[in-house]
Amino acid sequence: MAHDNERINDDLAAYWMPFTPNKGFKANPKLLVGADGLYYTTSDGRQVFDGSSGLWCCALGHNQPKIVEAIREQAGKLDYATPFGYGHPAAFELANTLAARMPGDLNHIFYTNSGSESVETALKIALAYHRLRGEGERVRLIGRVGGYHGVGFGGISVGGMVNNRKFFGAMLPGVDHMPLPYDEAMKFSHGQPEGGVQYADALEEILTLHDPSTVAAVIVEPAAGSAGVYAPPKGYLERLREITKKHGILLIFDEVITGFGRLGYATAAERFGIEPDLITTAKALNNGAVPMGAVAVHKNVYDGFMDNGGEGVEFFHGYTYSAHPLAVAAAQAAQALYDELDVYANVRALEGYFGDAMHALGQVDTIVDVRNIGFMPALTFAQIDDKPMGRSSQIFQKAYENGLKVRLSGDHIAVAPPLVSTKEDIDILAARLRKTIADVG
Ligand SMILES: Cc1ncc(COP(=O)(O)O)c(C=O)c1O
């Protein structure tokens, strides 16, 4: 009997694809060969609407001339600069730009190359901060069920997506999880659901169990993305901030998806009027043009390192490609475009229109929930014969055939078009999704 792999086209065999059913993909590949504006070009010559902004990252659409030019120019000027013990001017300029976009006193920037690295960095900052200040007993980290914080061991430990954890051993010790703040009563909510503050109160119970003085940080996505898009209930984040502050625990907002416009503001923290201690970012930071992430750090935390870190290296952490010149150039260009094109205002203006269009799709039996906030609505599909992802994976495939790229996550389909999309673009997206839902049935 032929082994599965032998049936796979030789040209595709060598690449072990991430978070992808490799055998299925290689039997029926979806190859993207070009991109411009809101559309991908496929290897069979079709134009596919990018209803996932790449992977939540291409917020300004693809092939943005100013970003392309910035990368090109930088590559010819300074291709790489050592980040340990050296710097390059653009990295400092970008840090100033980013700090100015962060809420309150989060005015220091640590560069990484991905969301996962931003999360690992933030968790390590939290642990080291407490230790440097003489509170080394603060070793616990609290995440949340359904949380996605990338794929490093810290991230999967505080994360709460079962498949991302169960194959990989015992995780970090000293981690606990709050519940996902969502229940039946919140189904089909527009924006932030009512009545979920008790989910934040669950943190108090967890803290009592462990003794709050042993906890270093709480990390949450202010609006959950990869688990299927869950907006925070009204008052929930406020309560988390209150509790963490009361106990001297750092609050980390993982804004790898929500950072830079997805919710109509530079950060979700700004939208919800909350000042966390750390914000992790990546993705839309530089429009996904070159891998990059960044952690924004509160002044008090940074000062904690500077005041207590001695004369040498204050934080033993960093990456070969931190502040990579090409990534920095792309980020500076992207940040300028967010202002120039008033991108966040576009999201705020169209959020209601977009949400209504998605809720209108939800009026069929096969859809069991629709949630929306900013430019990141999601639809939950009924399973077929109790098989997880039975229907949603068909929607994912059929949408692609119908010229629409969406994000599949369990039984959920998340829709996250570039933030420069117009009403007409949203109409196109909604029409393709409607046809797909009807086709799949
Ligand atoms: C909230 C959040 N954190 C972290 C990550 C990990 O980012 P990356 O895939 O760049 O490592 C993601 C990726 O989707 C994310 O959504």
The CATH number of the domain where 143 resides is what?
Answer: 3.40.640.10
Q: Are 391 and 438 in contact (CB under 8 A)?
A: no
Best of 20, 123, 148, 220 to mutate for ligand 1, by most ligand atoms within 8 A of CB?
148
The verdict on 223 and 347 lying in the same domain is no
* Residue of 19, 52, 257 to mutate, ligand 1, most atoms within 8 A of C-beta: 257
Asked if the structure places residue 16 within a domain, the reply is: no
Contacts of 394 (CB under 8 A, 6+ apart): 440
Per the structure, how many domains does the chain have?
A: 2
Q: What is the pLDDT of residues 351-365, one digit of tens each?
A: 999 999 999 999 999
pLDDT tens-place string over residues 261-295: 999 999 999 999 999 999 999 999 999 999 999 99
Quick one: 365 and 297 in the same domain? no
pLDDT of residue 8: 58
Please report whether residue 197 resides in a domain: yes
| Atom from ligand 1 closest to the CA of residue 226 | 16
Q: Is residue 17 part of a domain?
A: no
Whether residue 111 sits in one domain with residue 197 = yes
Q: 335 and 218, same structural domain?
A: yes
49 shares its domain with 78: no
Confidence of residue 1 (pLDDT cuts 50, 70, 90): very low
User: pLDDT tens digits, residue range 226-261?
Assistant: 999 999 999 999 999 999 999 999 999 999 999 999
Residue 218 belongs to domain spanning: 68-340
| 9 confidence band (pLDDT: 50, 70, 90) | low
Tokens of 395: 């929607």
**pLDDT value at position 325?**
98
Q: Do 55 and 407 contact (CB within 8 A), yes or no? A: yes
Q: Which atom of ligand 1 is nearest to the CA of 282?
A: 10
Residue 230 lies in a domain: yes
User: Does residue 114 have a pLDDT over 80?
Assistant: yes
Indicate which CATH number applies to the domain containing 367. Answer: 3.90.1150.10
Nearest CA, atom 8, ligand 1: 115
Confidence of residue 10 (pLDDT cuts 50, 70, 90): confident
Whether residue 102 is contained in a domain is answered as yes
DSSP 383: P
Same domain, 403 and 276: no
pLDDT in tens, 169-215: 999 999 999 999 999 999 999 999 999 999 999 999 999 999 999 99
The answer as to whether 13 is a domain residue is: no
- As for ligand 1, residues whose beta carbon falls within 6 Å of it are 114-116, 119, 148-150, 221, 225-226, 254, 256-257, 282
Query: What SS3 class is residue 52?
Result: coil
Among 340, 370, 398, the domain-final residue is: 340
32-91 residue pLDDT tens: 999 999 999 999 999 999 999 999 999 999 999 999 999 999 999 999 999 999 999 999
How far does residue 150's CA lie from ligand 1's centre (Å)? Answer: 5
For residue 165, report the distance from its CA to the centre of ligand 1, in Å: 15
Same domain, 328 and 378: no
From 310, 340, 370, give the residue that closes a domain: 340
Total Cβ atoms within 10 A of residue 132: 18
